Amino acid sequence: MQQGVSTWNRWRVEYPDISPNLANANLKDLNLEYVNLSSCNFSGADLYNTNFNKSMI
């Protein structure tokens, strides 16, 4: 995700069988608008004040 939304979403299209493991990730205060987050594991992740508007979860 550090490389941007378009790079992340392109990677998700190229590797649809991979379920990203974001367990315990610090996603606090991030703008994840329009990000494809389907099938991600968010267990224990810090999602405080994270923007998920128009994201695919």
- What is the residue extent of each domain of the chain? 1-57
User: Which pLDDT belongs to residue 46?
Assistant: 98
What pLDDT is attached to residue 18? Answer: 97
Give residue 1's pLDDT. Answer: 75
At 13, list the tokens: 């299209």
Residues 6+ apart with CB under 8 A from 13: 36
Using one digit for the tens of pLDDT, what is the confidence trace for 2-54? 789 999 999 999 999 999 999 999 999 999 999 999 999 999 999 999 999 99
pLDDT of residue 13: 97
Q: Which residues of 19-49 are buried (b: 16+ CB within 10 A; e: fewer)?
A: ebebeebebeebebeebbbeebebeebeeee
- The DSSP call for residue 26 is B
pLDDT at position 36: 98
pTM value?
A: 0.86
